[in-house]
Amino acid sequence: MEENQPKTGKFSLNYGLILGGVSIIFGIMLYTQDMHTSQSPALMIIGIAIAAIVTFIAISNFKKASGGYLTLGQALKIGAGIALISGIIAVLYNIVLVNYMDPDAPSKIMDARLGPALESGEITKEQFDLQKEQSIKFWWMGYPFILIINIIIGLILGLITGLILKKAKPAY
């Protein structure tokens, strides 16, 4: 008789929704502190750490539900699935942010990104204005990249967690 094997998709969806919810709470916290346009590496590290914790918990719980067994493929599927679901939520949050909550967010972000180059003389004011204008005009093109980068990070987190937690079923 075949055991009921847990589904990687169910774990990916549940924990992807959890990560997406936590990420929105983090994003709203940054917004209320007027830090949502910050280009701080510390904020990026915190975001990746949150994703790593949720991914580790998800894969660990999947292993428990699978009777203590986990393949690397299952860990990769869960990591990528969590990243995809949370990435979709992140894109939706960003659409709401730049269209309703803070329509000037793209301009503020481009000022933060290009400002140091302007101040150091690497680019002229005209180049600054042109790059800023073009970036804002094509802002929507960043959304697919958010998903792609999220999935790559999810695969890496799934790989690392899978290598730590993998345990093959015995052959008998």
Residue-wise pLDDT for 77-134, tens only, equals 999 999 999 999 999 999 999 999 999 999 888 888 888 888 888 888 899 889 889 9
Contacts with 73 (C-beta within 8 Å, 6 or more apart), sequence order: none
pLDDT over 80 (residue 2): no
How far is residue 156's CA from residue 150's CA, in Å, rounded to a whole number? 10
Indicate the pTM of the whole model. Answer: 0.89
Backbone angles phi and psi of 103, in degrees to 5:
-60, -20
Average pLDDT of span 59-66? 96
Q: Where are the domains of the chain?
A: 8-102+142-165
How far is residue 80's CA from residue 5's CA, in Å, rounded to a whole number? 19
> What is the pLDDT, as a whole number, of residue 3?
62
CB 30 within 8 A of CB 96: no
Q: Is 19 helix (H, G, I), strand (E, B) or coil?
A: helix
